[in-house]
Structure 1
Amino acid sequence: MADLMDGDGRGQLVLVAGFALAIVLVALVLLANTAIFTENLATRDNGVGERDVLGYRSSVVDGAGGIVDRENTAEYDDREPLEENVTAGLAALDSQLRESAARRAASARADVDAATYTNGSLVRQNGTADDPRQFTNVSDDADWTVATDLERDGDGGATRGFIAVVTNSSLASASAGDPDEAFHVVVTNGSAAWHAYVYENSSSGAIAVAVKPAGESASATSQVCSVSASNATVDFTGGTLGGVDCPGLAFGGEVAGSATTDGYDVVVRNGDRAAGGYDLTVRTVGSGSVSDENVTDGPSADDPYHVPAVYAVEVPIDYWTSEVTYAETVRVAPGERDE
């Protein structure tokens, strides 16, 4: 078809089209800026709300964990007064956190009346670095069982707060290649066993930890951490030596990590080749129990012993403001192994 538009007409058309395009572009920019502003505003609001919620949740977990540990270490003869005093502590914590939330125009509640407790036992040997006790049983046997048939519950564990202070001078001189004479902790379900050895490194003289994974041969044992010191704290469940992360130390390995139906035993080997003191709390639900023939029932100055403990507590919590509503049941079991 022939071009019937003259030059002036084409120019006007181009001008109009350009003006229309400009309007469209401005509109798009305005829409984009509005969307960005709205998104940032929501992000800022949600961020503040999330921080407040996480801060409140952390305060509940940390505070409740401290209360549980404080009351457990008070060494009650019976479980009832233990749980009553934990409940009283939780109520006081809830009151403090409610007041703190109110100052931020928020409401918070830990439903202490709905709290549920998981039974446990605290096993202790009261030695210290300055006054060490060998890690033997009540009959001075070096090889003995601490607890049997410990079962996990869902995502939770069955042993927590397993911390030992050891003196270098009490440890066997050994290596990861030849650890058999060293003190070690065994976690076994009868078909597989995880080993953690603590010894004086025969080459460096440092306090060392070696691990043999479950299902592996002795040749798979490897040293995972060491510290040059006259004494050191081994946190078996927290995975540290001398307060420093020991990534290869994951208590129980796959044996403890999978024991939701098949329980596991905690066993000591060569307990006469380490001295100091230790604590651990075990979950005594179902068949889980402390070995009474090896551990005294009730406090003892010289022998390992066990007392009632709260292994874990679950508390429903709520936190809400004009912009955020949050509800969860938190589980508190201080000193459990991180998965």
Structure 2
Amino acid sequence: MLGDRPADERGQLLIITALALAIILVGLALVRNSAIYTENLSTRQSTDSVEVTSTLGDGEAKVQRAIRHVNRHNNSSQADVNRAFDDVVGNIGNSTTDQHAKRGADYRLTVTDRTNGTHLKHTNSSKSFVSGDSDPGKGDWLLAGNVSHLRDYRRTVQPRYLYTGTDPTINVLMNNAFHVNMTGEDGSGTNVTWEIYVYENSTGAVVVVGAEETELLSEDDIEDLTTFEDSRRAPTSSDDENVTIDVTNGTVAGNSCAGLAFQDPFEEPISLRYENADDNQTLAESRSGGTYELAIGTTDYEDQYFNDTATESPYATNIIYDARVESRYSRDDITHSRVARVHPGTEGYTS
């Protein structure tokens, strides 16, 4: 028993016990502190990651808005739109750098490259989709060649302007219905043509039929093209009802249309051509009518067919199609950088 031991032994035992308890307590404190540090570090890393991602994304969004702004307000010439874009981006870079410097962070945003492009528009809903050259009423014409990027391609049509066909074959559509041809090459160098037809059927519906030309030709004996898998009908209540064909997003009146999925066959830049936009050069006998717009990532469009002012359709304006943005953010022991390609709207084709 402890009480039977000599005093010096009892003292030594108490000291040993006290040391053991001290070691245990120190160990527990270290474990607790380690857990708290790990939790704090994890929280800090998570917070830092969110802050970095938010900062870089915010800068890219500002450049995107800058593209949209100068394209709308500074498009009188390509030089003007580029000059305005550089000024806006410079202001964005300076203000955001100063803002983060006050918080102890170094943030840099630089536009290292951009693609000049063209916005092609037809806004006169009382005119068919003919060219705007000195020979008005030209219904078969080339919009643009060497198009490597295309976005925001939409057409709004009314049934009363369209060719009306009762279960037409593809040959009938070729000769009578408005359509757009997209022509280019696949990866093997083979020429490919994708055709998109728009007409009104006997029930009053706007019908969109599209596919590769060879596939369409192989369906020549189809009695009713509305049964073709790459077609979509949009029933209308009147001849004046607008139907939107969103080529970029592949929809007709908001519904998916497989015939608009033209992107896959092409690996090279494409050319865009309108066919059968009118008949006898009068709106009353037109094959098209409404509005359309598209942005292309090239300045190589057929300018002789487009007007320079929005008062006459069709017309063209100069734009920044997209920009390459490099961002860098650093603070304390955190450094992150990334490169992003920024553009407003939805891109539907890139070669």
TM-score (norm 2): 0.67
Residues 161 and 251 from structure 1, CA distance in 2 versus in 1: closer, same or farther, beyond 3 angstroms?
A: farther
The residue that corresponds to 1:118 in the other structure is 115
Structure 2 unaligned spans of 5+? 1-30, 186-190, 220-227, 279-286
The residue that corresponds to 2:159 in the other structure is 168
Alpha-carbon distance in 2 for matches of 1:225, 1:326: 49
CA deviation after TM superposition for structure 1 residue 149, in Å: 2.3
Corresponding pairs, count: 287
1:32-111 correspondence to structure 2 within 5 Å: 47-74=46-73, 76-95=75-94, 97-98=96-97, 107-111=106-110
CA deviation after TM superposition for structure 1 residue 223, in Å: 1.4
CA deviation after TM superposition for structure 1 residue 187, in Å: 0.7
Query: Alpha carbon RMSD of aligned pairs, Å?
Result: 3.7
The reply on whether 1:325 has 2:335 as its aligned counterpart is: yes
Structure having the higher Rg? 2
The reply on whether 1:185 has 2:185 as its aligned counterpart is: no
Alpha-carbon distance in 1 for matches of 2:165, 2:332: 62
Q: Which letter maps to 1:271? A: A
Alpha-carbon distance in 2 for matches of 1:234, 1:83: 31
CA contact (8 A) 2:250 2:261 kept: yes
Could you list the per-position Cα deviations for residues 106-157 of structure 1 after superposition, in whole angstroms to 9, with x for gaps in the alignment? 5433124xx3221222222122xxx43211112311121100122x3xxxxx
CA deviation after TM superposition for structure 1 residue 93, in Å: 3.6
The residue that corresponds to 1:294 in the other structure is 305
CA contact (8 A) 2:196 2:260 kept: no
CA deviation after TM superposition for structure 1 residue 83, in Å: 0.6
1:1-339 correspondence to structure 2 within 5 Å: 47-74=46-73, 76-95=75-94, 97-98=96-97, 107-112=106-111, 115-127=112-124, 131-138=125-132, 139-150=136-147, 152=148, 158-174=149-165, 178=169, 180=173, 181-189=176-184, 191-203=191-203, 205-213=204-212, 215-218=214-217, 219=219, 222-224=230-232, 226=234, 228=236, 230-242=241-253, 244=254, 246=256, 248=258, 250=260, 252-256=262-266, 258-259=267-268, 263-272=269-278, 273-284=287-298, 289-296=300-307, 298-322=308-332, 324-335=334-345, 336-337=347-348
Fraction of identical pairs, as percent: 21
Q: Which letter maps to 2:273? A: V
CA deviation after TM superposition for structure 1 residue 231, in Å: 0.8
CA deviation after TM superposition for structure 1 residue 102, in Å: 6.7
Residues 283 and 52 from structure 1, CA distance in 2 versus in 1: closer, same or farther, beyond 3 angstroms?
A: same
